[in-house]
Amino acid sequence: MSGLKLPQEGGCRCGQVRLRVGAPPLLTMACHCTGCQRMSSSAFSLSAAIPSEGFAVTQGEPVIGGLHGAARHYFCPNCMSWMFTRPEGLDWFVNLRPTMLDDPSWFSPFVETWTAEKLPWATTPAVHSFAAFPPMDAYPGLIGEYAARAGAPAP
Ligand SMILES: [Zn+2]
Ligand SMILES: [Zn+2]
């Protein structure tokens, strides 16, 4: 499922901020919430949850955007691409927008969230759909199932 070649580099639209991923994602997601619709200027946001030790900004200084709240949304200060998010209280992973990677072709969302707020036509190939965020106790099972699929030969 995950054909992400590691390590892999990526960057924002203008190239001022560059980053490197050295670990496979724990989970891949699409979020249909209205906040993500606004920040992504699109129907939903995409996230690859990368373990923090496998994620590095290698060039440039991303700045905080979005609501400037507990979840820290990082943007390029020049082209304003929404690059990644450090969720509140969850320091062990970073939610990278996978289209920042130089090759995002491996990505598909395994989980979709906030379908209660989705645009009527918006659909994804996600295996699991949740009306809001999944309950915290659902994540270990989702991560385990994603890892088992990612370890299987590509279809
Ligand atoms: Zn930029
Ligand atoms: Zn969202």
The pLDDT, as a whole number, for residue 100 is 98
Separation of alpha carbons 15 and 145, rounded Å: 35
Distance of CA 103 from the midpoint of ligand 2 (Å): 23
CA distances from residue 88 to 70, 92, 95 in whole angstroms, order as listed: 5, 11, 11
Does this model's pTM top 0.95? no
Distance of CA 9 from the midpoint of ligand 1 (Å): 14
Report residue 155's pLDDT band, with 50, 70 and 90 as the boundaries: very low
Per-residue model confidence as pLDDT tens digits over 54-97? 999 999 999 999 999 999 999 999 999 999 999 988 889 999 99
The amino acid sitting at 83 is M
CA distances from residue 21 to 33, 35, 48, 72, 112 in whole angstroms, order as listed: 26, 26, 11, 19, 22
Which ligand is closest to the CA of 29, given by its number?
A: 2
Distance of CA 31 from the midpoint of ligand 1 (Å): 23
The amino acid sitting at 29 is M
